[in-house]
Amino acid sequence: MEHRLENLNQRAYSQLVQTLEFWLHETTDQVYGGFIGQIDYRNHKNPQADKGAVLNARILWSFSAAHQLIPHAKYFSAAHRAFDYIENHFLNHDSKGLYWSVDYKGRPKETKNQTYALAFMIYGLSEFYKISAHPKALEYALTLYQSIEEHTYDKQFNGYIEALDSSWNPLNDLRLSEKDQNTEKTFNTHLHIVEAYANLYQVWPDPHLKERISNLLQLSITYFVDPVAHRCRLFFDRQWNETLDHISFGHDIEASWLLTSCAEKTQDIKMLSRLKKLSLNLVRGVKNAVDKDGGLWYEKSLTNNDWIYEKHWWCQAEFWIGMIHAWQLTGTKHYFQLAEDNFNFVEKYIVDSQYGEWIWGIDKEMRPIEKDKVGPWKCPYHNTRAYIELIQRLKPL
């Protein structure tokens, strides 16, 4: 077993470095600053593509987190480059909010305040503060945190509203993406608010922030995780009525480890105990969506048992961490085997050995899904985080 741990650790380290090198050399925008907004699945660059807030926040987080594991000037420089661009182009200093996107020259494009993006910016800024102690990074993170609490928190029914306009007024279209339902509240956004808040708590251990984290974790237990079906409920109206009977296996496995990680960061022992049980139930539910090649299928409709037989990149990354986490909780080697099998699957089918980084995924016939390698949603966050989590969790060897 020790040899298998060491082998997986070393492979993760090697793949992490290769992934970071792709983002350093392929995505740096030497003409307009920051990082370019799109590279297609054939590695063709679009230097005039819009630049997304989520992508840039995730780049900031990824290089900041990588620098803590592998201290290197080039990672620190990339993180600082992302911070500078965010400060000068994405932060709406007038409204204390955030632009959803800017054009390739850095001019505001979509100006709505999407709560999901605000959360990821807090996540990236607080991680950058860990390596830089830059006072502005913490200041901006706290400003966005206060804006979320002031404007998007639902004081009547609890939880957080998906989006508001640039002046914090209501919007008709609250969707995070075209594939999402137009509802007031989603599990996905709440999951990443609590992730961001827990990361902020590590550099700013404020009692009210801790209470907000506890509230979000309780919302997960009360509304988001189905205690019978062992899956995460995804979309809700304002009064917490579920609006879609659907399973997202990637979100289920991500929640299985991420919620407990947030409780650990705030040292909430009682909450942690409850979440560990919830975590293992989610893992058991997700195991049914693992194919014989080790890959994790994407989604399933409970209404008509209609599966989306695709294996998307980010779901595989979350699967590693979820299975290693379950192995650590139980000592059951089967969970480690599932993580190992999936890692092998990713190396064989998802990692682009020719150009670097990961492709979007493969379909049922094992054909590559022809979507961007870099774009508003295709970023270094899920795979970089998965590599880092694996390396940290498999120590000491």
High-pLDDT (> 70) share of the chain, %: 99
Tell me what the pLDDT averaged over the chain comes to. 96
The rounded distance, in Å, linking the Cα atoms of 173 and 155 is 21
pTM value is 0.97
Average pLDDT, integer, range 300-310:
89
Determine contact, residues 160/185, Cβ cutoff 8 Å.
Answer: yes
pLDDT beyond 50 at 72:
yes
Q: Which residues neighbour 317 within 8 Å (Cβ) at sequence distance 6 or greater?
A: 346, 382, 383, 385, 386
pLDDT beyond 90 at 219:
yes
Give the range of the structural domain holding residue 58, as residue numbers without chain letter. Answer: 2-393
pLDDT 10s digits, 145-173: 999 999 999 999 999 999 999 999 999 99
* DSSP string for 363-377: ETTSPBP---SBSSS
Q: What is the pLDDT of residue 397?
A: 44
**Cross-strand bridge partners of residue 113:** 164
Burial label, 362 (beta-carbon count in 10 A; 0-12, 13-18, 19+): buried
CATH code of 31's domain: 1.50.10.10
Res. 396 pLDDT band, cuts 50 70 90? low
Res. 334 pLDDT band, cuts 50 70 90? very high
pLDDT beyond 60 at 119:
yes
The rounded distance, in Å, linking the Cα atoms of 343 and 101 is 33
The rounded distance, in Å, linking the Cα atoms of 57 and 118 is 9
pLDDT 10s digits, 17-49: 999 999 999 999 999 999 999 999 999 999 999
pLDDT beyond 90 at 2:
no
Determine contact, residues 287/295, Cβ cutoff 8 Å.
Answer: no
Structure tokens at 397: 């060897």
Closest Cα partner for 104 from 53, 51, 62?
A: 51
The distance of Cα 339 from the centroid of its chain, to the nearest Å, equals 19
Average pLDDT, integer, range 267-288:
94
Structure tokens at 165: 């306009």
- Structurally, the chain folds into a number of domains equal to 1
Average pLDDT, integer, range 89-117:
98
Determine contact, residues 359/373, Cβ cutoff 8 Å.
Answer: yes
Dihedral sign from CA coordinates of 230, 190, 387, 178: positive
In the chain, the amino acid numbered 91 is: L
Q: What is the pLDDT of residue 187?
A: 97
Q: What is the pLDDT of residue 395?
A: 82
Give the helix ranges, DSSP H, for 266-374.
269-286, 313-330, 333-345
The rounded distance, in Å, linking the Cα atoms of 35 and 29 is 5
Closest Cα partner for 278 from 241, 228, 328, 316?
A: 228
